[in-house]
């Protein structure tokens, strides 16, 4: 049976370290790092994510400078707010909570965030730095995955990593991060011929598609490391529960390591957002 990659426990450890770092900054007369999360509309899932981020800020001693907007907020109004935050010295990280209502151009808004305040690591300049192997803010979920592998001494070097899912949020940046650690990376997706065979070739298999229980035991090489990035809410027996893209019940008997859902990659995403904000603060304020 697979060992568990416990993202919840690692996130707690990292957040404790961040809280101590922030306490030292404040004790030395510095200000608290500030994070501004912008949310538009009343999407229940987005609201829950934003609450988690705001609670994490409070827990760590950071300042939450988030703003919630009605669903009919215009592109120009949001653009003006981002410009103000870019010039606000209290703000070290800015994040636009996705998805946005259909009438808004999310790409244009994300590109307007100053690269050095881009807490989610999605600005083209930060993605370019990732491609070039340069220092910069990195996308939170992929960075959390890499932290998990590091914590459990799983070295990607020389391994075949298969990433299923090619989004700009997870799949593409994670592929680059694994490549930087000397893995041989295959990017797979819904149009990949014979996806089960490609998945079975992986030493490290990452599922980041958003389809419940897509990865079954017959798609996993015995002894592979399985990272489940998916978070899907399904309803059965009159109630709802969260499941990943991996059929955990069957795959855990084949893999050597596996992330649970919930409690795997999810807690790491929020923690890396906090870490990015603190890193940005230190770069901007402490030099």
Catalytic residue set: 53, 97, 120
Phi-psi region of 165 (alpha: psi -120 to 50; beta: other; left: phi over 0): left
Q: Does 165 show up as a binding residue in the annotation?
A: yes
283 annotated ligand binder: no
- Cα–Cα distances (Å) from 84 to 53, 112, 276, in that order, read 21, 11, 20
Task: Check residue 117 and report its DSSP letter.
Answer: G
Segment 73-77 long-range contacts (CB within 8 Å, at least 24 positions apart): 73/40, 73/104, 75/103, 75/104, 75/105, 75/108, 75/109
Helix axes 171-180, 140-151, angle to 10 degrees: 40
Q: Any binding-site annotation on 231?
A: yes
Rg (CA), the chain: 19
Distance of CA 118 to the CA centre of its chain: 13
On whether 7 is known to bind a ligand per the annotation, the reply is no
- CA terminus-to-terminus distance, the chain: 47
Contact between residue 99 and residue 50 where contact means Cβ atoms under 8 Å apart: no
**Which residue positions form the known binding site for NADP(+)?**
165-167, 231
């Amino acid at each position: 049976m697979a060992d568990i990659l416990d993202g919840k426990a690692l996130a707690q450890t990292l957040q404790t370290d961040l809280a101590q770092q922030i306490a030292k900054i404040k004790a030395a007369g510095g200000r608290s790092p500030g994070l501004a999360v912008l949310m538009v509309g009343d999407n229940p899932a987005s609201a829950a994510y934003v609450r988690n981020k705001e609670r994490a800020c409070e827990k760590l001693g950071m300042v939450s400078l988030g703003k919630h907007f009605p669903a009919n907020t215009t592109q120009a109004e949001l653009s003006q707010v981002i410009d103000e935050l870019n010039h606000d010295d209290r703000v070290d990280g800015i994040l636009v909570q996705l998805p946005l209502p259909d009438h808004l151009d999310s790409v244009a808004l994300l590109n307007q965030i100053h690269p050095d305040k881009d807490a989610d690591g999605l600005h083209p300049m930060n993605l370019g730095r990732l491609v070039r192997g340069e220092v910069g803010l990195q996308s939170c979920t992929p960075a959390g995955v890499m932290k998990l592998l590091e914590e459990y001494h799983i070295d990607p070097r020389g391994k075949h990593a298969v990433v299923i899912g090619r989004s700009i949020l997870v799949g593409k940046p994670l592929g680059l991060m694994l490549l930087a650690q000397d893995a041989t990376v295959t990017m797979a997706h819904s149009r990949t011929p014979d996806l089960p065979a490609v998945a079975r070739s992986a030493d490290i298999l990452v599922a980041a598609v958003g389809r419940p229980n897509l990865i079954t035991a017959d798609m996993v090489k015995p002894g592979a490391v399985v990272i489940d990035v998916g978070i899907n809410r399904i309803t059965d027996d009159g109630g709802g529960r969260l499941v990943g893209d991996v059929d955990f019940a069957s795959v855990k008997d084949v893999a050597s390591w596996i992330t649970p859902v919930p409690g795997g990659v999810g807690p790491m995403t929020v923690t890396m957002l906090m870490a990015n904000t603190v890193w940005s603060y230190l770069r901007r304020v402490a030099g």
